[in-house]
């Protein structure tokens, strides 16, 4: 009898708690996607659901170039690429605070809704000697290096981009 009363009380408590919860408590900031109001895309990169990437050829000189853009209809322009960090594919947004991973000495200016970051594999190898840039022999598991950008818009809004990669080929 006592067990039945306890079970009934617990069931009633759970039912009331379930009805009393609001969506904003269930779906708080902790479980929402963190998407900026103005998305930054990489127009020269490709992706299949993961991090965007570009192909970089060692034989072609090893030029790394990322074209960043925001939607023309957003009402905003890119003021600058404030910070660029690089490294192995394990870097994340927290890497923006690591001085050793910072690539650019000065902000890279934007032009309207676009900005371009250029670099080379040789510069990357000098900056990050512990990260291998030797092309992989298996095309199904390519050698990749990674970058993250902190972009400042004309209203001083700052956007941290997703990680983008450069796949290194012969």
pLDDT score at 18: 67
Mean pLDDT computed over 142-170: 96
Range of the domain at 123: 41-169
Domain match, 22 and 54 both:
no
Domain-located, residue 123: yes
Domain match, 18 and 85 both:
no
pLDDT score at 41: 96
Percent of the chain with pLDDT over 70: 89
Backbone phi and psi for residue 6, each to the nearest 5 degrees, phi listed first = -65, -45
CB 163 within 8 A of CB 91: yes
Number of structural domains (the chain) is 2
d(CA 39, CA 45): 15
CB 68 within 8 A of CB 151: yes
Q: Coil, helix or strand for 25? A: helix
Per-residue burial over 24-40, b = 16 or more CB atoms within 10 Å of its CB, e = otherwise: eeeeeeeeeeeeeebeb
Q: Is the pLDDT of residue 66 over 60?
A: yes
CB 140 within 8 A of CB 131: no
Q: Give residues with Cβ within 8 angstroms of 133, minimum separation 6.
A: 58, 62, 121, 124, 125, 143, 145, 168
Domain match, 91 and 160 both:
yes
Domain-located, residue 9: yes
Domain match, 164 and 132 both:
yes
Domain-located, residue 107: yes
Backbone phi and psi for residue 10, each to the nearest 5 degrees, phi listed first = -65, -40
Domain-located, residue 15: yes
Domain match, 91 and 64 both:
yes
Domain-located, residue 85: yes
Domain match, 97 and 48 both:
yes
Domain-located, residue 104: yes
Domain-located, residue 98: yes
Q: Reduce the secondary structure of 27-42 to three states and give it as a string.
A: CCHHHCCCCCCCCCEE
Domain match, 68 and 143 both:
yes
CATH number of the domain bearing residue 124: 2.60.40
Q: Is the pLDDT of residue 23 over 70?
A: no
| Higher pLDDT among residues 163 and 6, named by residue | 163
Domain match, 79 and 20 both:
no
Backbone phi and psi for residue 88, each to the nearest 5 degrees, phi listed first = -75, 175
Cut 0.85: pTM above it = no
Note the pLDDT tens digit of each residue in 91-146: 999 999 999 999 999 999 999 999 999 999 999 999 999 999 999 888 788 899 99
pLDDT score at 14: 74
């Amino acid at each position: 009898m006592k067990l039945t009363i306890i079970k009934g009380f617990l069931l009633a408590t759970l039912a009331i708690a379930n009805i009393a919860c609001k969506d904003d408590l269930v779906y708080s900031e902790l479980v929402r996607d963190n998407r900026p109001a103005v998305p930054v895309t990489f127009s020269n990169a490709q992706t299949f659901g993961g991090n965007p990437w570009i192909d970089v050829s060692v034989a072609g000189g090893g030029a790394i170039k990322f074209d960043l853009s925001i939607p023309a209809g957003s009402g905003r322009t890119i003021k600058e690429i404030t910070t660029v960090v690089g490294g192995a594919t394990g870097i994340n947004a927290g890497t923006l605070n690591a001085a050793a991973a910072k690539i650019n000495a000065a902000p890279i200016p934007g032009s309207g809704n676009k900005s371009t970051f250029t670099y080379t594999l040789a510069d990357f190898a000098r900056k990050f000697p512990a990260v291998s840039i030797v092309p992989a022999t298996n095309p199904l598991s390519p050698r990749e290096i990674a970058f993250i950008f902190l972009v400042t818009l004309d209203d001083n809004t700052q956007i941290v981009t997703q990680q983008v990669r450069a796949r290194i080929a012969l």
